[in-house]
Amino acid sequence: MAHPKIGNMAPAFSLLNQNGEKVALKDFRDQKTVVLYFYPKAMTPGCTVQAGGIRDNRKELDKQDVVVLGVSPDPVKRLQKFIERDDLNFDLLSDEDHAIADKYGAWGPKKFMGKEFDGILRTTYIIGKDGRLKHIMDKFKTKTHHEDLLAWLNENLD
């Protein structure tokens, strides 16, 4: 499935976070720029590196009125474990049926160790305070994801 178009309204969602509380995109309207990033699985090496980079740059993101939401098909309980284990300081959302990943075009065919299967395509969406999609990052290394993200935000946010 294709990504939503830049400039269009970002697809609405409401998902449970690591505490079982509902988090909806509309909660941040006119207040925060939303960084919505889809990752394959909590507590796996690449996802841990990516989440750690965001955690360690939280102050920078706060200065720019940016809220980060990580989305994966993990159940709520596993998200709670990931937050506790890695001392994460942002919400992780559970998209177990990958309905939101589908809406964003972040679910599709992958290859791993010679096998093909459907799963999360590691993608980051930057959604403006007006609810419109500003930017899509889908080619990055987990190690430098936060650097690429901050560079884009620094250049493009007012």
pLDDT at residue 158, rounded to an integer:
64
pLDDT in tens, the chain (158 residues): 688 999 999 999 999 999 999 999 999 999 999 999 999 999 999 999 999 999 999 999 999 999 999 999 999 999 999 999 999 999 999 999 999 999 999 999 988 789 998 999 999 999 999 999 999 999 999 999 999 999 999 999 86
DSSP 112: E
pLDDT at residue 74, rounded to an integer:
97
Distance set, CA 124 to CA 17, 41, 68, 84 (Å): 18, 15, 10, 23
pLDDT at residue 111, rounded to an integer:
83
Classify strands 66-72 and 107-112 as parallel, antiparallel or unpaired.
Answer: unpaired
The three-class DSSP label of residue 151 is helix
Q: 91-115 burial, b for 16+ CB within 10 Å, e for fewer?
A: bbbbbeebebbebbbbbeeeeeeee
Taking the C-alpha atoms of residue 48 and residue 33, their distance in angstroms, rounded to an integer, is 23
Catalytic residue, chosen from 23, 47, 149, 153, is 47
pLDDT at residue 54, rounded to an integer:
97
Taking the C-alpha atoms of residue 106 and residue 120, their distance in angstroms, rounded to an integer, is 6
CATH topology of domain 14-148: Glutaredoxin (3.40.30)
pLDDT at residue 112, rounded to an integer:
78
Domain residue ranges of the chain, discontinuous segments joined by +: 14-148
Active-site residue 47, yes or no? yes
Contacts of 39 (CB under 8 A, 6+ apart): 46, 47, 50, 51, 70, 71, 72, 120, 122
pLDDT at residue 1, rounded to an integer:
62
Taking the C-alpha atoms of residue 76 and residue 86, their distance in angstroms, rounded to an integer, is 16
Look up the pTM and report it. Answer: 0.95
